[in-house]
Amino acid sequence: MSVSVLILTYNEAANIGGCLQSVAWSDDVVVLDSFSSDATVQIAEGRGVRVVQRRFDDYASQRNFGLQHIAYRYPWVLMLDADERVPADLQDEIVGGVSKAAADACLLRMRRRDYLFGRWIRRSSGYPTWFGRVARIGHVWAERPYNEEIKTDGKVLALERHLDHYPFNKGFHEWISKHDRYSTLEAELRHRNGGDPWRWYELAAADPARRRIALKGLMYALPFRPALAFAGLYLVRGGFLEGRAGFTFCLLRSWYEFMIDCKFRELERRKRGLPV
């Protein structure tokens, strides 16, 4: 049994070629594009893959469209972003995993290796984080409009091999611009939800996705959260051992958390009629 591939794109000319090369083993690749203004579509079509276009509204809706409204050749689909790559060992594990999966298994999770300055920033990135990426069609969906959470009505299996992620391929300016937008969206979502409810006992949950959500809720409840995020990644997790790459990423990550807090407080003050 083989696996279909779904790649979400918007202005990913710098990334889409490498991503498609890493999934050339699949004969059913779909690029779901949000009407890119660069050469993304032309590059994808030149590789002979299917291109479907849909106006972007939010990440969960876009991914759900890809899962629910596109016909695939195979019952399993691998979901990717354009700045991700599938190494050969992960390819083998994915194909083997779906061929042996029980009927009630509907989602395969994997960990991701983040790269900066040509090296895997294992400590600085907070590794390991698990992502649900291989979905049985009809049994998996996305929730939460940004930094979406992948849900399933079946069992979840964990893969041993890693997905490779190159978040800085388009330059620091693009990473900063993207996370400036993300921080606005996260602050607005947090504001609409009235904060960040979480359950302390989920910190000990067997499911790593539930532990991650609980840990995120705990972090939002703590004072000086951006400074704690930097200290946790750089000092406790050992980001200082990764040199310039570790320091750079830990600083950028704490800046992102600081922007979320600033924008959330701005929304809260405006709601009460107070000056920013």
Determine, yes or no, domain membership for 276.
Answer: no
Q: Are residues 156 and 241 in the same domain?
A: no
Last residue of a domain, one of 165, 189, 206: 165
Q: Are residues 211 and 87 in the same domain?
A: no
The pTM (predicted TM-score) of the whole model is 0.88
Q: Are residues 239 and 137 in the same domain?
A: no
**Per-residue confidence of the chain (276 residues) as pLDDT tens digits?**
699 999 999 999 999 999 999 999 999 999 999 999 999 999 999 999 999 999 999 999 999 999 999 999 999 999 999 999 999 999 999 999 999 999 999 999 999 999 999 999 999 999 999 999 999 999 999 998 878 899 999 999 999 999 999 999 999 999 999 999 999 998 998 888 765 555 655 666 677 666 666 666 666 677 788 999 999 999 999 999 999 999 999 999 999 999 999 999 999 999 899 988
Q: Are residues 190 and 160 in the same domain?
A: no
Dist. CA 56–CA 255, nearest whole Å: 26
Residue 143 structural domain = 4-165
Q: Are residues 71 and 188 in the same domain?
A: no
Last residue of a domain, one of 165, 200, 219: 165
Q: Are residues 186 and 209 in the same domain?
A: yes
Q: Are residues 58 and 126 in the same domain?
A: yes
Q: How many domains does the chain have?
A: 2
